[in-house]
Amino acid sequence: MPTSPPSSGSARSVEELNAAIRALFSHRDARLTDEQREEYRRLLAELRQVERGDVTTAA
């Protein structure tokens, strides 16, 4: 189940991003689909931005 990217001006927290990543891997026996792998890449990129402080949260 893909997670939509945050709207402009808002950012998900590290906890939210980690939860979304964990959800992708909730079925240990199943392999990720191409769509899920792409979502994983997007989540990792977003997580890196948040960890670096490149994203500002909405007030």
pLDDT at 11: 77
Give the Cβ contact number of residue 1 at 10 Å.
8
Show the domain range for 24.
Answer: 14-51
Q: What is the pTM of this model?
A: 0.68
- Total residue count of the chain as it appears in this document: 59
Tens-binned pLDDT, residue by residue, of the chain (59 aa): 555 454 444 578 999 999 999 999 887 777 889 999 999 999 999 999 988 886 565 55
45 domain residue, yes or no: yes
User: Looking at the domain assignment, is residue 1 inside a domain?
Assistant: no
Is 35 contained in some domain? yes
Domains contained in the chain, number? 1
pLDDT value at residue 6: 47
Q: Is 15 exposed, middle or buried (0-12, 13-18, 19+ CB in 10 A)?
A: exposed
